[in-house]
Structure formats: C-alpha cells, structure tokens
Homo-oligomer: A and B are copies of this chain.
C-alpha cells in the first residue's frame, strides 16, 4: 500500500467533517471557518514504548488517548476544541491495519468531543512509532494558570494517582490488570477530560485552571510560577481511591506519592474564592464531575506545602513525570 492509498484509507475511516470545514483532507492545507473568539492551539505527541505499549492498549485506545490529551489542554483553558490534525511517523513493523485501528480510536474520541479531524501527515520512520496530534480551539476569555490569588480554595476533579496506579498495574500484571483494577487501568488507557464542565468554570468564578497531566505536585509548582501564590495542600482532603491504595500496596509504593506525583491524569486543578465554593460544587454535582477541595492558596514565600495527617507542614516537591 502506497502513501496516498493509506491516506485514502485513513480518510475513509473519518466521518464527513462539519460545515465549518471548507477544505479538508486533499489540498495543501486545511481551510476552515475562523474561530470567533481567541485562538487556542496545542500539540502533544505519543511515542510507542515511551507513552504507550501495544501490550496494554488496544490500537483504538492509543488513538483515543493521543487526541484526548490535546483536548485536555484546550479544556484546561476553559476552551472548546474545534479541529485536529494528525501526524504519524510509522515504522515498517506497524501494519496498515493497525494504523487504521488507531484512527478508529481517534475518530471515536473526535466524535465524543465534537471535533473535526481535518487531515494531517503520514511519514515513514525507521524504528519508533510516533503519533503527534495538534488541536485548534477557541475561548472567549481563556482561563490561565496565572489568575490565582492568596487565600483561595484549591480543588481538583477526579482521583489523583489513579492513572499512575493503573500504569503500575498494567506493567506488573499486563492485560490481566484490567479486570482486577478496572477504574485505574481504564483511566490510564482511555482518559476522558472534563470538556463540557471546564467551559463553565470561567463563568462560575474560577481564577486559575490547569490540567494535572504532569502530576499534581508538578502542576502546583507551575501555577506557583504563573500566579505568584503558594499552596497548602491537606493530606486528609486528598481523594485517594481504593484502587490506588491497593495497587500501591501490591507494588510497594506509597499511595500518597502516587496521588501527589503520578502523571498522565487528565483532570483539572483550579483555584477560586471561598465565596464561589457552593455554586461551583453544585455545578460539578449536577454535571456528574467529582470535585474535591484539597487545600488553599497561601503567599508565594510559603511555597508549595502539604499538611500531613499528623498536622505537620512539609514541602511538596515537584516530582512529576519528566522524560529527560
């Protein structure tokens, strides 16, 4: 199968684009209706055996995740994702059938999110399999990581450490882990960022928003740098899921470490004044989003700290996932 034949096959995997796409796959570039609001734009890359492994993931799940991690970035600005381009570099050992299956996962995620996959690029590589997806979105007033003030509530969606625990379980038990630890493994291979709810947060008075893809501690330090506030997180408030505790025990890990530092979690970390708390939690409840207050912001000079169960205040270092 030639390059153009593969592109034709991938094109057929996708549904017809929506009306805002004026020229899709087949010309030099995409031509689309311009976003009405601010342009948001992100790119993220998955590399086989660095970010995913065909032993743990179905090809469709790899495609889903490759798109979802980008949608999470747009959601973390309070924005709406519109269009996606997919750039693949494929070694010979990966069959065309598998590439089509990955595209099926991209399509499923795109349909879930209302995003048009409008083209991309297909290239050859020698060894590594590389899936680079870039997403354009829009937001009227983007929610940055720089808006937090001192004395605000810090809250997260979901259960930090769940994805990292799922990854540990998949590494230890392979596919068997999926039956034993369904929540954590599913969260790892099939992340579902809080796309719809994230759009409401600006209107609800959220002052800073970020996703915790690099791990909670790392992202707290990012907000510290952007907003010029410190954080006091309370261990007793952290929602550590049962599966995280079970997997931590079975793999000799500390569940608190998984919750504080585990990455690849596409949940939201936010700050807002206490006065907004009840409105924001009602909205989360109504939308089925688990939201937990985990601490409060303090002055920048106090840094990022965690209050342990015994009441001691300890520095919470940035130990998030890094490839280098």
Chain A residues at the B interface, C-beta cutoff of 8 Å: 1-6, 22-23, 26-45, 47, 49-51, 73-74, 76-77, 79, 83, 85, 87, 89, 118-128, 130, 132, 134, 136-139, 142, 144-146, 210-211, 226, 322-324
> Which of B32, B74, B89 is the one whose CB lies under 8 Å from A130?
B89
- Contact residues in B for A137 (Cβ distance below 8 Å): 29
* Whole-angstrom CA separation of A45 from B120 in the bound complex: 10
> Distance (Å) between the CB of A74 and the closest chain B CB?
6
Query: Do A29 and B47 contact each other (CB < 8 Å), given the known contacts A36-B34, A324-B2?
Result: no
A39 touches B47 (CB 8 A): no
> Distance (Å) between the CB of A304 and the closest chain B CB?
15
User: Assembly of this chain: how many copies?
Assistant: 2
A31 touches B142 (CB 8 A): yes
Query: Do A30 and B42 contact each other (CB < 8 Å), given the known contacts A23-B144, A124-B50?
Result: yes
* Whole-angstrom CA separation of A4 from B321 in the bound complex: 11
> Distance (Å) between the CB of A224 and the closest chain B CB?
13
A87 touches B43 (CB 8 A): yes
B45 touches A121 (CB 8 A): yes
B142 touches A1 (CB 8 A): no
* Whole-angstrom CA separation of A36 from B118 in the bound complex: 20
A87 touches B132 (CB 8 A): yes
B87 touches A45 (CB 8 A): yes
Query: Do A28 and B89 contact each other (CB < 8 Å), given the known contacts A34-B39, A128-B127, A132-B132?
Result: no
- Contact residues in B for A28 (Cβ distance below 8 Å): 42, 73-74, 76-77, 145, 210-211
